[in-house]
Amino acid sequence: MPLLRLLRGSLPNFLLENYLGDKMRIMGIDLGEKRVGIAVSDELQLTARGLGVIKRENIFTNLDPLKEMCRQHQVQEIVLGYPLKMNGQVGSAAQEAEHFKEKLQQEIGLPVHLWDERLTTRSAENVLLEADVSRHKRRKVRDKLAAVFILESFLERRKQ
């Protein structure tokens, strides 16, 4: 059950409107080589959780699954991982992310922010290795976890 709906019964409306406002969720996307990881924030934009993965070849030809996720989770913004090279330069993967950003904005109609994602996939892989997750299972969740890391770092920066 959404947090705001839960709070509506226990807090006066003026408090909800003045302090919580109509905050919506933010979606985080990690554009992996074979899979696209998806994460979403809570309504107060404090935490991120993984939603799933979509095969990469499908996402470029059909944005309907992303549109549906945005609608279902009341997403108001999207944060897309921006895979800069380690020296900060824009490479082919970053150019591809820029192209995908434009496609998302045109077809979904939400603001899309590019967010430096250097080492998020490596961090996700390390967390999964430390948790002793099998190679087969790691492949399935690595990009989703990377999307969570991208979104969490975006939310942290926003708090500052």
Topology of domain 25-159, CATH: Nucleotidyltransferase; domain 5 (3.30.420)
> Sorting pLDDT into bands at 50, 70 and 90, what band is 71?
very high
* Per-residue pLDDT at 22: 58
**pLDDT exceeds 80 at position 8:** no
Please report which residue ranges of the chain form alpha helices under DSSP H.
3-8, 13-15, 56-61, 64-72, 92-108, 120-130, 135-159
pLDDT digits (tens, 9 = 90+) for 45-66: 999 999 999 888 867 778 888 9
* Domain locations along the chain: 25-159
Rounded alpha-carbon distances, angstroms, from residue 117 to 13, 17, 41, 68, 80: 39, 34, 17, 25, 9
Task: Give first-to-last CA distance, the chain, whole Å.
Answer: 28
* Stated pTM of the model: 0.79
**pLDDT exceeds 70 at position 20:** no
> Sorting pLDDT into bands at 50, 70 and 90, what band is 114?
very high
pLDDT digits (tens, 9 = 90+) for 79-113: 999 998 888 889 888 999 999 999 999 999 999 99
**pLDDT exceeds 50 at position 1:** no
Q: What is the mean pLDDT of residues 136-148?
A: 80
